[in-house]
Amino acid sequence: MFFVLPSITMQLNEFFLVKYASEILQRSGEHLFLVSVAISIAIAIGIPLGILITRQKNLRQPILGIANILQTIPSLALFGLLIPIPIIGGIGPVPAIVALTLYSLLPIIRNTYTGITGVDSAIIEAGKGMGMTDKELLLQVEIPLAIGVILAGVRVATVIAIGIATIGAAIGAGGLGVFIFRGIAVVNNQLILAGAVPSAAIALLADLGIGWMERRLSIENSK
């Protein structure tokens, strides 16, 4: 029995989540910073653009087209393209945040548009009949009824951003991708898992958390 306990302790110390625990916490913080800033900016840009194309139908195709094109650019290529650009380029978290913001726009814009245009026209007409202005209809009727669909877009964008943020390590942005690139360089599966497993866990928790919020707000607004 005295030989078993040291053996178990050694095995635990070799387990990657224990072995790299302090650095995993640090890199997870960097990862969350990149994603949270990028998603906040994407929400601030994407929701107004989604609202705009519900009012200006002629802008729908150009805006959604540009957002679609941004989605098709390979992530590593986009990170590389941003490096030489002044102010938003260089090495570090700034170009990574810009890239993640660009990747996050499409689901937020599209879902905002879909959610608002999906509101029952009878409800809109009833609001107009009560003398509500376009702004009042938007803030008091359309957005509250569309909030579930809008949050679904934010949810998709967040999960995508968490995955793509691992590429940020290639341009010195930090995050959990540092483990993955280091593991690939030295052919060490434990290092790769030390980056991949926490990243997957963060994505799962974000998906569950935003999904819960989405369902809760949808239920409240349907009452």
Q: The domain 20-222 belongs to what CATH superfamily?
A: MetI-like (1.10.3720.10)
**Would you say residue 175 has pLDDT above 80?**
yes
Q: In terms of pLDDT, which residue wins out, 6 or 113? A: 113
The per-residue pLDDT for 40 is: 97
Q: Rounded to whole angstroms, how far apart are CA atoms 86 and 89? A: 5
Q: What is the mean pLDDT of residues 23-32?
A: 95
**Would you say residue 158 has pLDDT above 70?**
yes
> What are the angstrom distances between the C-alpha of 62 and each of 127, 147, 179?
30, 24, 39
Positive or negative, the CA dihedral 211, 102, 147, 57 is negative
Mean pLDDT over the full length of the chain: 88
The per-residue pLDDT for 21 is: 87
Q: What is the mean pLDDT of residues 59-70?
A: 94
Render the burial of 94-121: b for 16+ CB within 10 Å, e for the rest.
bbbbbbbbbbbbbbbbbbbbbbbbebee
**Would you say residue 7 has pLDDT above 70?**
no
**pLDDT tier at 99 (50, 70, 90 boundaries)?**
very high
**In the chain, domain spans:** 20-222
